[in-house]
Amino acid sequence: MATSTTPLLTTDDLAIVPALAGLPTEVLAWLLEHGEARLLPAGTELFRPGDPADHMFVLLRGALQLWREQGGQREPFLRFEAPAISGVLPYSRLRQTSATGVVTTDATLLMLHRSQFPALEHQSPELVQRLVGLMSDRVREETRGQERDDKLRALGKLAAGLAHELNNPAAAISRAAADLSARTGAEPMLLQELLAAGVPAEQLPPLLALASRSALASTSLSVLEQADCEEELEDWLRKQGIADAHALAAGLLSGGLDEDTLAPVLTALPRHARQPALRWLEGQLASRQLVRDVQEAARRISELVRNVKDYTHMDRGAGMVPTDVHGGLDSTLALLSYPLRQRHVQVVREYAQGLVLVNGSPGALNQVWTNLIDNAIDALPHDGTLTLRTRREGEFICVCIIDSGTGIAPEVLPHIFEPFYTTKPVGEGTGLGLDIARRIVLSHGGRLQANSEPGRTEFCVWLPLAD
C-alpha cells in the first residue's frame, strides 16, 4: 500500500455515510477509535489480486475503481464514490482479493480490520445488520453483472467454435463450386469429342446408364486399399488402349465404377471411341459427385444452424415449458464440439430410455449444462472421457456429467458452490459459474451436488419430471 497521511476525522464525518447515518455517536466514536484513517492520493493501488481481504473501507471522500483480469485483459467492474463502504464486510467468506482497487480521486477513508468484526457486533448489532444487508445487495448486483458477462463470454466462445465449424463446409462449398464451374465449362468439348468418335446409337444407353449411377466407392476401404484398386483399374484401362488411364482411374472408381462394371460397356465400343467415352463419363461422374459435396456441406451448415436454434430456443417464448433434457444435452455438446475435438475427448452418452421432459426454462437449463460440461472439458486431459448419464429416480430425472480428470481436492470440494470461490488462476475464472448453475437448478425445484476422486469427478443434477 502506498504511503499516506493520517487525516483527523470526527463522528460528523462518518455520519454522512448512508450505512452509518442515524447510529449513536458512541458507535461512530468506536469506529474512529478502532479504525485507521488514511488520506490516499489518486493513483494509489489499495489492493491487488491475491492480497488478503482483511479490511472494511469507509470511503469518506474521493472514489475507488475496481478492476478485474479477464482473458488477459483488465476490465472495470465496480466503482465506489464517497460516501460509501467497500472491502470485506461482516460474515463475508471472502479471504483473498481477486481484483485491483485503485484510488481514482484523492480519497479519505477509514479502514477497519476484520478482526474487529466480533467486537463491532457486540458494540452495534444494528450496524452489523446494515452491513450484512449491504453485502447481500452488493453480491446480488455483482452476480447479475457476472451472469451477463458469463453469458457474453459463453456466446463468444460458442461463436468462435461455430465459426470454425461453419468454415469447413463453407470452404468445401467454395472449392466444389469452383471445380464444378471448371467441369461444366469442359462438358461441351467432351460431348463434342464423344459425338465425333461416332459411338453407335445402340451403345449410348448403356453409357448414359453408367453416368447416372449414384453408387459411390466403399468408404470402408483404407487409403492403401483404395490406391491398390486405382492401380488395378489403371492397368486394365491401359490394356483397353486408354492413354490417360492414370487421370481417369481415380474419378471412375470414386463414382463406383470398376473393371467388372466398365468391361461390358467399354468392350462393346469401337476402340477409337473408348477414350472420349471414358473422358465424358468421368466428367459426368465428377460433376455429380461435386453436386453431392455441395449438398452435404449445405446440410452440415443447416444442421449447425439447427443446433444453435435448439440451444438458444429462439423459437420459444420465455417461461417454464416441458423441456427435453436429452435434447438440451445434445445441443450443448454440438455447440461445444470444437473444444471436445481439440482435446480428443471421447463422449459417452448413457441416457435413460424414452423422452425425458421436465418443466423448465430451456435457455436456463442449457446454461447449466454449458457450465458443467465446459468445466469438465477444462478438467479433462488429452484423450480423456466425458460421460453424460441420465436415470429416473422416482419423480425426478438425475443428470450426471462425469469427467476422467485429476479430480477436485478434498479441501476444495466443500467450497466449489460458494460465490466467487475459484481455484483457477487470476483472470481465468470468477467463481460464479457453479453458483449460477446451482441457483438455476434450485429455481427449478431440483438440487445439484458433486463427488470427486482422482480420475473421476461427477456433477449430478436432480430435476422434477414434467406432469
- Is residue 301 located within the same domain as residue 321? no
Greater confidence, 427 or 381? 381
Check residue 59 and give its pLDDT: 93
Q: Measured between alpha carbons, how far is 93 from 385 in angstroms, rounded to an integer? A: 34
* Residue 154 lies inside a defined structural domain of this protein: no
pLDDT exceeds cutoff 60 at 4 = no
* Residue 20 lies inside a defined structural domain of this protein: yes
- Is residue 111 located within the same domain as residue 183? no
Q: State pLDDT tens for residues 63-76.
A: 999 888 766 677 78
Q: Among the three residues 96, 123, 150, which one is the final residue of a domain in this structure? A: 123
* Residue 2 lies inside a defined structural domain of this protein: no
* Residue 343 lies inside a defined structural domain of this protein: yes
Mean pLDDT, to the nearest integer, of 272-288? 81
Q: Measured between alpha carbons, how far is 385 from 403 in angstroms, rounded to an integer? A: 6
Q: Measured between alpha carbons, how far is 132 from 121 in angstroms, rounded to an integer? A: 11
Scan for cell 499516506, then name that residue. Answer: 4
Q: State pLDDT tens for residues 383-395.
A: 899 999 999 998 9
* Residue 5 lies inside a defined structural domain of this protein: no
- Is residue 346 located within the same domain as residue 392? yes
Q: What is the DSSP letter of 193?
A: H
- Is residue 336 located within the same domain as residue 438? yes
Lowest mean pLDDT among 194-208, 321-335, 375-389, 398-412: 194-208
Q: Measured between alpha carbons, how far is 246 from 262 in angstroms, rounded to an integer? A: 16
pLDDT exceeds cutoff 60 at 318 = no
Q: Among the three residues 283, 305, 327, which one is the final residue of a domain in this structure? A: 305
pLDDT exceeds cutoff 70 at 219 = no
CB 20 within 8 A of CB 14: yes
- Is residue 328 located within the same domain as residue 354? yes
- Is residue 298 located within the same domain as residue 368? no
* Residue 458 lies inside a defined structural domain of this protein: yes
Grid cell, residue 346, equals 471421447
CATH number at residue 118: 2.60.120.10
Q: What is the mean pLDDT of the chain?
A: 81
The CA-to-CA distance between both ends of the chain, in Å, stands at 60
- Is residue 327 located within the same domain as residue 446? yes
Q: Is 157 exposed, middle or buried (0-12, 13-18, 19+ CB in 10 A)?
A: middle
* Residue 359 lies inside a defined structural domain of this protein: yes
Neighbouring C-beta atoms of residue 155, cutoff 10 Å: 12
Q: What is the DSSP letter of 351?
A: P
The angle at the Cα of 242, spanning 237 to 243, to the nearest 5 degrees, equals: 125
- Is residue 291 located within the same domain as residue 363? no
pLDDT exceeds cutoff 80 at 202 = no
Taking alpha carbons only, the member of 381, 326, 369 closest to residue 350 is 326
Contacts with 353 (C-beta within 8 Å, 6 or more apart), sequence order: none
Q: Measured between alpha carbons, how far is 51 from 253 in angstroms, rounded to an integer? A: 69
Where does 48-124 have alpha helices with state H? 117-123
- In this structure, which amino acid lies at residue 419? P
Check residue 228 and give its pLDDT: 75
Mean pLDDT, to the nearest integer, of 271-298? 80
- Is residue 438 located within the same domain as residue 460? yes
Answer positive or negative: Cα dihedral of 135, 136, 138, 139: positive
Q: Measured between alpha carbons, how far is 196 from 392 in angstroms, rounded to an integer? A: 72
The angle at the Cα of 26, spanning 20 to 29, to the nearest 5 degrees, equals: 75
What is the count of structural domains for the chain? 3
pLDDT exceeds cutoff 60 at 217 = no
The residue segments making up the domain with residue 111 are 11-123
- Is residue 362 located within the same domain as residue 446? yes
pLDDT exceeds cutoff 60 at 262 = yes
Q: Among the three residues 273, 305, 337, which one is the final residue of a domain in this structure? A: 305
- Is residue 181 located within the same domain as residue 237? yes
- Is residue 271 located within the same domain as residue 354? no
pLDDT exceeds cutoff 50 at 429 = no
Q: State pLDDT tens for residues 50-96.
A: 889 899 999 999 999 988 876 667 778 778 899 999 888 888 877 88
CATH number at residue 374: 3.30.565.10
Give residue 356's pLDDT band: very low, low, confident or very high (50, 70, 90).
confident
* Residue 131 lies inside a defined structural domain of this protein: no
